[in-house]
Chains A and B, each alone.
Chain A
Amino acid sequence: MEAIDKLGKHPEPKRAGEEPVVRFENAVKKIGRKTIIEGLTLNVPAGQVFGFLGPNGSGKTTTIRMMTGLMAPTAGDIKICGRSITREFEAAISQVGAIVENPEMYAYLSGYRNLLQYARMRSDVTKQRVDEVVRFMGLQNRIHDKVSTYSLGMRQRLGVAQAILHKPKLLILDEPTNGLDPQGIRELRDYLRTLAQNDGTTVFVSSHLLSEMELMCDSVAIIQAGKLIDVRDLHAETDTETAIETEFDVARIEEAIGLLGGGEIRGGRLVIRTNREGIAETNMRLVQAGIPVYGIRPLTRSLEDQFLEMTGGGQIV
């Protein structure tokens, strides 16, 4: 009976039935007469790397400011681990580590002394923990240098370091790949994965870079102009049943169509709509008939295409 009640309350599937780490409850933000966020309702499941995707100016940073208590929602509420960020700020924020926009630090202090600033603000962060985080982020060689001498990539790492000092349940990163070189982006991706997998940290990352999100995240929520458009699981089991369009690069296309009894020619290639098994079977038949096959490619749409389609592509800002 209890299990059924639970299911009734949370209709959407969740990992191990855990309480979501973040719950947006119809959060609204108006600044002046302008509505920045329109009634955002969203659950962020525990233990995931959760992407928050939207074009520039769609309200990503405003949402993060509300999640971290920097801005108060005009209406609605945001709960972190069940605690309201507006009414129980200290309890809610103690579970959060974050970088909001750029990782701004005290440039006249060393990286280490910056970290100590934040360590002193909590009773549960020891010096050993600070050293551990410095090593985890690979900062040990430069940690005693002044932050003013750091590159953007190192500041970003120091930013992540201050955010994970207290082993937060929720790590919020606002556009973390901004200004990073490809290697930096790859490293960021790696340690976010490590945090999510080893420490069970839920990571909430905002970005406008879709390809980046695809590589990094388990799920993404897509917002546009302050409205939630879609939430999707990026690691859904590969669907073997549904027919998808598949492109075959073959010699003698006309003959192949005759043999298969179907298909169309697109850009000099043969396109057939079939499922996973059908692709293998088609290939076999072509080869057996002596028609050379040079390549097979599923014509799936990337998240980027879907994203552009959903957000209407060329929007007027």
Chain B
Amino acid sequence: MFDFFRLVHNENIKIYSRVRTWVMFGIVLLTSLLMPTLFYYIGSGLSMWSAMNALQQFWFLPTVFAIAIAGDSVAGEFSRGTIKLLLIRPWSRIKILLSKYVAVVLFLLAVYAVFILPALPLSALIFGTSSASDMSDSLLGGLASSMADEFWLSLLLRMISGLMYATIAFLFSAVFRSNSLALSLTMVMMFVGGLITLIISPAKYVIGRYVLFANLNLTQYVYAPSGEYGVMSLGFSLSVLAVYYVVFLVIAFWVFRKRDVAA
């Protein structure tokens, strides 16, 4: 097991010794610090937690960066040709791919940490920690009983969506072995998802409830336990996502293990 962590360590080095990774962290850090400041100047009557909830509207930033890292993870080795030197070590392809996936998940956690952690003390400093305005009407009947609750719950749910997107990018990366294809396909899915849910509406068609995209936006349950369409629940969506998640990983590992390397 110790040896396996050395593989993960290798993958971490490949991610964190690149300039572009630090550019991503820089952008996320700036967002985290600038947004509460900006809210202070333009907003009125904001509390610490409402500012934090507003910051979360930028959740796509850490998510997209995690997608970029995931999409490059396997495909990058193919485009550089380094995959050949990587796969001729006494490690099964399954373990090599698993170490890459673990590194991608760790990056997702890291980039979300950079997104949230600097803003928390800053918002507390700017807006104060008084809980006088910690409740809002929009939360009535939802899963959160306060704005702090709303924040932590949505963060958790957004990170689960982020994990799904990163896993999809990782799957495309392992299957298509092309960085740009993995990235663009995942982005297309992010944008087209809403459109597809509109066409195959879960409210009208039962099958629509099982479509991936109808379940990816988990924050809908923070405000209404039966979701946007009033026909699903958080537990239902999490179960559907779990099934997709397992299927995605099985395909990624199966294809990566089987296919010839001709890069």
Query: CB distance A121 to B81 under 8 Å?
Result: no
Residues of A contacting B87 in the complex (Cβ-Cβ under 8 angstroms): 68-70
Contact of A118 among B14, B81, B84, B85 (CB under 8 A): B85
* Complex Cα spacing A69 to B13, Å: 25
- Complex interface bits, A82-96 against B, C-beta within 8 A gives 1, otherwise 0: 000000011101101
Q: Cβ of B92 and Cβ of A89 under 8 Å apart?
A: yes
Q: In the complex, what residue of chain B is closest to A102 when comparing beta carbons?
A: B81
Q: In the complex, how many angstroms separate the beta carbon of B91 from the nearest chain A beta carbon?
A: 6
| B3 at the binding interface (Cβ < 8 Å) | yes
Residue A180, interface by CB 8 Å: no
Question: Is there an interface contact between B13 and A70, defined as CB atoms closer than 8 Å?
Answer: no
How far is it, in angstroms, between the C-alpha of A120 and the C-alpha of B6 when the chains are bound? 6
B90 contacts A122, CB within 8 Å? yes
Judge whether A70 and B260 touch: CB under 8 Å: yes
A105 contacts the other chain (CB 8 A): yes
Q: Mark B127-155, 1 if CB is under 8 A from A, else 0.
A: 00000000000000000000000000000
Question: Would you call the interface of chain A mostly helix, strand, loop, or mixed?
Answer: loop
Interface string of B1-37 (1 = CB under 8 A from A): 0010011011001100111000000000000000000
Q: Does A108 contact B (CB under 8 A)?
A: yes
Total A residues in contact with B, Cβ cutoff 8 Å:
32
Interface check A98, CB cutoff 8 A: yes
Q: Is the CB of B80 within 8 A of A94?
A: no
Asked whether, in the complex, the Cβ of A108 is within 8 Å of the Cβ of B18, the reply is: yes
| Contacting pair A93 B89 (CB below 8 A) | yes
Is there an interface contact between B10 and A117, defined as CB atoms closer than 8 Å? Answer: yes
Contact status of A70 and B261, CB under 8 A, knowing A106-B80, A121-B6, A121-B10 = yes
**A104: interface (CB < 8 Å):** yes
**Bound Cα distance A287, B91 (Å):** 70
Chain B residue nearest to A62 (CB atoms) is: B262
Asked if B82 lies at the interface with its beta carbon under 8 angstroms from chain A, I say yes
Chain B positions within 8 Å of A93 at CB level: 88-90
Q: Quick one: given A109-B13, A120-B9, are A69 and B84 in contact (CB under 8 Å)?
A: no
**Chain A residues, Cβ within 8 Å of B262:** 65, 70-71
Specify which of B85, B89, B90 is in contact with A104 (CB 8 Å cutoff): B85
| A118 partner residues in chain B, CB cutoff 8 A | 85, 89
Does A72 make an interface contact (CB < 8 A)?
Answer: yes
The distance in angstroms between the C-alpha atoms of A96 and B84, with both chains bound, is: 13
**Cβ contact within 8 Å between B17 and A113:** yes
Q: Chain A residue with minimal CB distance to B260? A: A71
* Smallest Cβ-Cβ distance to A66: which chain B residue: B260
Q: Is A187 an interface residue (CB 8 A)?
A: no
Give the residue of B14, B19, B84, B92 whose beta carbon is less than 8 angstroms from that of A70.
B84
Q: Do B92 and A120 touch across chains, with their CB atoms under 8 A apart?
A: no
Give the interface centre of B81, B87, B89 by most chain A CB atoms within 10 Å: B89
Per-residue CB proximity of B48-92 to A under 8 Å, as 1/0? 000000000000000000000000000000001110110111111
Instruction: List the A residue with the shortest CB-CB distance to B90.
Output: A94
Asked if residues A106 and B14 are in contact (CB atoms below 8 Å), the reply is yes
Instruction: Give chain B residues whose Cβ lies under 8 Å from the Cβ of A72.
Output: 260
From A65, A94, A108, A113, give the contact of B261 (CB < 8 A).
A65
Contacts A113-B17, A122-B90 given; does A101 touch B81 at CB 8 Å: yes
CB-based contact B88/A120 at 8 Å: no
Q: How far is the CA of A261 from the CA of B3 in the complex (A)?
A: 79
Report if A244 contacts B (CB, 8 A). Answer: no
Chain B's closest residue to A123 (CB) is: B3
Q: Are A104 and B84 in contact (CB under 8 A)?
A: yes
- Asked if A71 and B261 make an inter-chain contact with CB atoms under 8 angstroms apart, the answer reads yes
Asked if A162 lies at the interface with its beta carbon under 8 angstroms from chain B, I say yes
Query: Taking A120-B9, A120-B10, A121-B7 as contacts, is the C-beta distance between A68 and B88 under 8 angstroms?
Result: yes
- Annotate A9-36 by CB proximity to B: 1 below 8 A, 0 otherwise: 0000000000000000000000100000
Complex Cα distance, B90 from A35, in Å, reads: 29
A100 close to chain B: CB less than 8 A = yes
Q: Bound state CA distance, A91 and B89, in angstroms? A: 10
Given contacts A65-B262, A106-B14, contact A121 B89 (CB under 8 A): yes
- Give a binary string over B234-263; 1 marks a CB under 8 Å from any A CB, 0 the rest: 000000000000000000000000001110
Complex contact A122–B89 (CB within 8 A): yes
Q: Are A69 and B88 in contact (CB under 8 A)?
A: yes
The residues of A that contact B7 with a CB separation of less than 8 Å are 120-121
Q: List 30 A-B contacts (CB under 8 A).
A: A65-B260, A65-B262, A68-B88, A69-B87, A70-B261, A70-B262, A71-B260, A90-B91, A93-B89, A100-B88, A101-B81, A104-B80, A104-B82, A104-B84, A104-B85, A105-B82, A106-B82, A107-B80, A108-B17, A108-B18, A109-B14, A109-B17, A113-B13, A113-B17, A118-B89, A120-B10, A121-B6, A121-B10, A121-B89, A121-B91
Chain A contacts to B: CB under 8 angstroms:
31, 65, 68-72, 89-91, 93-94, 96, 98-102, 104-109, 113, 117-118, 120-123, 162
14 new A-B contacts, CB < 8 A, other than A109-B17, A117-B10, are: A65-B262, A69-B87, A71-B260, A94-B90, A104-B84, A106-B82, A118-B85, A118-B89, A120-B9, A121-B6, A121-B90, A121-B91, A122-B90, A123-B3
